[in-house]
Structure 1
């Protein structure tokens, strides 16, 4: 029997390569997703590793065994558009069987691995990052003792490769974007106070959030207390004029309206406004109460405005800190600040990779000890 492995981007490419090299009688023995490239797995691309085999004697296969699928049968289906439903059903069956295999393998893992996986899931750490951390732990330490306080340091060191933090120099035009209700306006006010009172910079504020009267009034109140100018723009043209009017200020903080990442029109509007404003920095505000899958979607949709930094908000409203590693991985941009309350300007802190890694490790260790 000839057995070969193929690294491909999708199952269609695998079919073509296998048929070309092994012939139409080849069978697929197994498939699995693998990561290649990047640094410590960061930035790596996902591929499909397909193992196929064929008997050296060209005798036809007459039956299927276990996880073996007849390539010839699947290929014959892909040639017939009217059988697309059957193709989809077959692929779904394959995926269900593969998931069953994975679940079976995990059930036989050592208890410490099962506890670590549950703890990472509890912290809403992305599944791919979870598996990388577990594989590294298996190779490097063979076993982790969750009763030992030193394990917190070990965990924090394992999280560091997935961390990315950076505090930018606040100058020029800074645009704040994000979904509704994540605290953009409050975050802007906190940074305005820091820049004015601590850094002694000349600060101007522009609000584009004319959809919410309360947001405009809130910013006007902060601006009055800080003694900084505030302008209101209702259209992209007005936004451009207001930016020009404040051009001699050190920093112009620009508040945008909250936009749902699921609404195509909203995304188009925020992109158009960003193009007119032409910001030097773009802060994407993401609430830490969101689930990992929501954060991935937000990161993907708001990429149209090219965020330069992320602010994680509302840390005080959750005990899941997985987004410390999720967000830099999803967006490939650093976390600049984390907010943990409503007080202006107190409840905001500069992001530090080691500090965030320790916070996440503390919660993971707590969850692992409880086994929940």
Structure 2
């Protein structure tokens, strides 16, 4: 097998070089991005490197092919080629050392056309490799390497700040190259447009019934603390009647935490253990302007827990269902969480723990994937201070990295 590396400014250019030198049967073993340094290493440019391989026929393979020919169909003709008599022995074996060539009187069978499990396996692998290459080409379709240097800088900055590659490509493709300051402003404006307008909790006028807000989300994201902050904001600051209900009976500490908050701000707290008792508790608090419901953190990997949560949501029939997520959660984990919670039809998103990270790009991924707006962000543990309505302009600058 012959293995060689080929480098090009784009994936297409690198593949063209591979096919040109190694032929259409070449197999791609590996692809990666490399830095091509020029002018004594002072200037570098990102390139695509492909490692390709092609199977070369060995002597043993040739001998096997010859052995499959029918000796009776062969004719001998003098030539300059010298073969060992042990290679093939026709009926009238020539003397050792005589020169001849093999001329089949009829087309020889092609071993490549015969059924061979190894060849079938290789063919299946080729199909898989072509699919992978197609995916790579699709992801590299936006020519980041060919962008003007300042736009390329913005692209790299977005990736560094945890913006998904697809979104970084989309943003940079819409920037009109101007001076550096204006390019930055364009990028921030595009990020702000993706964030959209926030959707905080808005209560109807007093005496128009209760607004029921339910918090759902994975374990450890800070749902209970977020509810306490909202309860304090609406009760103390806005002077509205608030009721608290918790269905988080998995953690005794969560119940005690919410009860303590309730006592401090003068808000009643009820504990429920099942969907029917949740419905009853909501009806008892119908004189409140706002009813906030806390739920147990549910693992997106645990199907039974998710079904239990669905039963509580159906019993509550909330006016607003908020998914609470942590800014410290990885992008791939967020994908799985969103896939598990989507069937609950939440319509608002709250991001917590903004103070525990310096990379905010996953926010864009969540908004694009769900199509739902941000409601609030939390920036610490202090109640009720460390919560604020999501500000798209401020968040766009954070995501871009201007405020770090």
TM-score by length of 2: 0.64
2:166 is the counterpart of 1:128: yes
Trace 1:231-246 onto structure 2 (pairs within 5 A): 231-246=270-285
Asked if structure 1 preserves the Cα contact closer than 8 Å seen for 2:144 and 2:169, the reply is no
2:252 is the counterpart of 1:213: yes
Q: Which residue of 2 aligns with 1:97?
A: 133
Asked if structure 1 preserves the Cα contact closer than 8 Å seen for 2:231 and 2:242, the reply is yes
Asked if structure 2 preserves the Cα contact closer than 8 Å seen for 1:172 and 1:252, the reply is yes
Trace 1:108-257 onto structure 2 (pairs within 5 A): 109-137=147-175, 140-141=176-177, 145=180, 148=181, 150-164=182-196, 165-170=198-203, 172-257=211-296
SS in 2 for 1:210: coil
Gaps of 5+ in 2: 1-11, 13-22, 28-118, 204-209
Larger Rg: 2
Q: Which residue of 2 aligns with 1:37?
A: none
Q: Which residue of 2 aligns with 1:316?
A: 355
Going from structure 1 to structure 2, the CA distance change for 1:224 and 1:333 (only over 3 Å counts) comes to same
SS in 1 for 2:213: strand
Trace 1:249-268 onto structure 2 (pairs within 5 A): 249-268=288-307
Asked if structure 2 preserves the Cα contact closer than 8 Å seen for 1:190 and 1:344, the reply is yes
Asked if structure 1 preserves the Cα contact closer than 8 Å seen for 2:142 and 2:169, the reply is no
SS in 1 for 2:292: strand
Asked if structure 2 preserves the Cα contact closer than 8 Å seen for 1:206 and 1:233, the reply is yes
* Distance in 1 (alpha carbons) for counterparts of 2:120 and 2:194: 40
Asked if structure 2 preserves the Cα contact closer than 8 Å seen for 1:282 and 1:309, the reply is yes
- Pairwise CA distance, 1:109: 5.0
Q: Which residue of 2 aligns with 1:350?
A: 389
Structure (1 or 2) with the greater helix fraction: 1
2:331 is the counterpart of 1:298: no
Going from structure 1 to structure 2, the CA distance change for 1:355 and 1:100 (only over 3 Å counts) comes to closer
Q: Which residue of 2 aligns with 1:75?
A: none
SS in 1 for 2:365: helix
Number of aligned residues: 285
Gaps of 5+ in 1: 1-31, 33-62, 68-82, 367-372
Asked if structure 1 preserves the Cα contact closer than 8 Å seen for 2:228 and 2:383, the reply is yes
- Pairwise CA distance, 1:107: 4.9
Asked if structure 2 preserves the Cα contact closer than 8 Å seen for 1:153 and 1:358, the reply is no
Asked if structure 2 preserves the Cα contact closer than 8 Å seen for 1:125 and 1:292, the reply is no
CA RMSD between the two structures: 2.9
Asked if structure 2 preserves the Cα contact closer than 8 Å seen for 1:206 and 1:255, the reply is yes
Deviations 1:50-85 (A, max 9, x none): xxxxxxxxxxxxx84889xxxxxxxxxxxxxxx997
SS in 2 for 1:180: coil
Greater relative CO (CA pairs within 8 A, separation 6+): 1
